[in-house]
Structure 1
Amino acid sequence: MFSNRFARYAATAVAAATAVGVMTVLSAATASAAASGTITFSPGSGADTSVFNVETSGVCPANDTYIDATISGGGFPANAVAINKEPVSVLTATQTGYEIAISNNLRQLATNYAVTKLDPNASGQTPYTIDVQCIPALGNTVGADFAGQLTFTSETAWSSASSTPTTTTLGLAPTSPVSFGSQVTLTATVNPAAAGSVTFFDGATALNATPVAVANGTASYQTSSLAVGAHTITAAFTSTDANFANSTSAASTYTVGQAGPVATTTSLVSTPGSAQVAGGNVDLTASVQPATAAGSVTFMDGATSLGTVAVSNGSAVFNTTALALGSHSLTASFVPTNTTAYGSSASPAVPFTVTKYVPPTATETITTTVDAGSLNISVPTGQVSLPDPALNSNGTLFTTSGSLETVTVTDNRAGNPGWTASGLATAFAQTGGSVQISAENLGWTPGTPTGSAGQTLTTGPSVAPANGVAASDNGALGLSQSRTLVSAASGAGLGTAKIGATLALNVPTTTTAGTYQSTLTLTVI
């Protein structure tokens, strides 16, 4: 593949490079010999700024391991460089010769050689020849020459001699002259019927923003926008088939006269169709024909103007929620901006009724289920460590005391029945031993509880510990029996209560040393 050959080597051929202590030798293009083969262009036509490929009809002789190329014609100087000396080994081989990708364009090549016009006489028939020549590594003896010709069909478009020429003819209906606003049909006929598209021009201005595809050799476009005056109309065919060239029709003069204002028609549609409740939205849509008529539409309710809206692409829309109760006769009147070009028109009356708004009704059955709720009691960790017992002043008991972890009672039960929280302790058992301390020796003093608004809480009585009774004692003292910590009255128990107590333990002096544990079960009912 070649990369930017035109720009690189054309610039090399025309540049003069001198500097102190430096000598640059420019390679001259090989003089063209008589062609021994041809080149074809792919695509067969294009723009002056587009790139293309060329393919030789044969290969170079074995001793000619390089190629170069020249371009001639138009304003190019003799032996203008198109491709400088390149090894054949970099070319892409085809079944018959070489494919050479030209990654620059003819406009850039012309710029490099100060060629200002590629179709200097605006003839659409300016030819250029590209010669691809086979040469040895040393010297410029041409072993084979492959030539091809392309022709600029305009200042910016070319086709190759390998493309079949086409002709484009233009037809206009109705025949000139016509009145302003008349619909004109432009038909281009392409011969041969090649694939491609047609753009219709009024002078240098394209009439169709999107080119029209050629079907069965013809392409048509309709317009009613031609201004008053004389027009120069052409049809330019652009081929999409490399085997066929582009072509442009001869210019046709077409005259549009001002014979009088073009009649218009106006129609009106209401949405909703015929009725709406008071305060409801009503859309009034006016359609004006021809759609090219510029102006405005005034929407009327009888003799009362509702509003005026500019016409856009043949349509004007007005919205209102202010129509009064009762019957209405709605119309739309078109007034043209240019009264010499288009006439005024009014729509037939559209009957419309506005009715009183009647609010709709509906019923709903509301159901709810009251859950039974729950009563819960909890403590943070369930662990209380009492200080080591100490001998009392009388020397008769070991005593210790501490605080019960805060007890939380939460009640969200239906019916608000109230509740009672109580505690019951087991005997203290020696860890790793068999000695016990009676639960009768453990007592408490309930603290002042805190609760939610609406709760009525009553603290249970203090429970004194027994005076160091033996583990075998079967009495009912202390916390060996269930004791009330706090209670909430019926109707005043819902919410969360926090309860505390001070614990007191008396240990007989006969108790052996060790660690003792009791389980205090807290219950709320």
Structure 2
Amino acid sequence: MLKNRVSRALALGVAAVTAAFAAGLAGAGAAYAAPIGTIEINPATGADTSGIAFTTSGACPSNATNVLVKVAGSGFPADGLNVVGNSPISTYPTAGNGGMIIPLSSTMRDYASQAGFTTLQGKYDFTVICRTAFNGTSLGDYTGAVWFTSNTIYQNTDPAVKTDTATALAVTPAGPAQAGTPVTLTATVTPGGAGGTVQFKDGANNLGTAVTVNGGTAALTTSNLGAGTHSLTAVFTPASASYNGSTSSNVSYVVQAVPAATTSTALAVSPAAFAPQFSPVTLTGTVTPAGAAGSVKFTDTAGGATSTLGTVAVANGSATLTTSSLPVGDHSFTAVFVPADPGAHTGSDSNAIPYMVGAFTGVSASETITTTVTSGALAISVANPQVTLPSPVLNADGDLLTTAGSINPVTLTDTRAGNPGWTVSGQVTDFSDGATHGINGQNLGWAPKLVDKAPAQTVTPGSAVPAARGAATGDTGTAGLKSARTSRTAPGSAPPTSPPTSP
């Protein structure tokens, strides 16, 4: 019993091998003809283990009875490998375009294994050969190709050739729209299979973040378009390197400002109608709506002239002004609302209220007036305390090294009342290099000068002080600036109109 089963299996195997061998022989001598059409490959993208079917763009010539399908490319023989053996055309169903639907009997991974390699890469060309059963001459070919972008993934388009895309932008509602109205921007990207994102833009500015394309469209709704004319675009960025990006045409969209809300202003005066001179009169302006921000200007028309009594900020819908300085006579008061944002609220005027201020009838009142007088100050300052003199040079007699230069200006500011006067003096210590070398301070002299002063201030520079002639270190003399010397003096006088300044 076991022997019979083995014999049957062996017989089937031999039959299969014989059929494949016959198919290979039938196709080995086929001569290629000029293509008469193309192959649509389905699915368009897939894996090395996917089933693949071809749909030819038309039927084989009428004298053809059979078809043979070959694949060629990296790893396969130069003249290709038969992937569909010599088969009658009647074996395959007819497509709507009149062409043939031919499924491959195995996967690309199986065909690679038959050819003795494992790595699928680059372009693989398929040829459907129209022929007769026993004559290898091609009567017409249909061609197509797939590209393996990795060892396991293919696509039916050349990854080196990018597909152009087009992006169209529609905006709803149709403009013009009022500021604050939700506006929807919809981008349509073609071809429909192009995945990626769309960045909507207003001029050079992004509107929100990029939106993922879904089913060929992407949409964004915003209420943040300000009043004015906007230039709206949609920029498509593909997710796949197989597509080129695209930008829609500009859509000019007008957004109108929200009309300013109307306000009204009412004026009340207390006491009503009449008050004697010097009595307090209170004017209260009430603005509707209460949330309108701005101020109320109170005006008074008297004797044919209009003046402003004061301007008061609106708080909680009202503003109040009290005055006791109205002259005797007839008056006409108004309250004028001035909005902080004219685009948000209109201005408005109250009705004029006539008012009489009578003669002073006598009152008893007192006020306490207080002021604080500061004592002022006398301040002296130097903007830069570092002074560097040029390197000393030998004098004409050859017995002394000398140098000269300007010290930095000294500024004195006097804000004291009464202008009591002041004197500035200067003094220097011995020079030292921080180690064992030094120069006696007597060897530095100066010639004070005035740089600037207040017009009302009298400032007299001090006398020039000559330097000692090479006083030795340790000399206890008082020459030069080793002793304090007057730089300038300002004697007491009428108070200056501004602080004096001197070096």
Query: Relative CO higher for 1 or 2, CA cutoff 8 Å, sep ≥ 6?
Result: 1
| Fold shared, TM-score > 0.5 on shorter chain | no
Which structure has the highest strand share of the two? 1
Q: TM-score with structure 2 length normalisation? A: 0.29
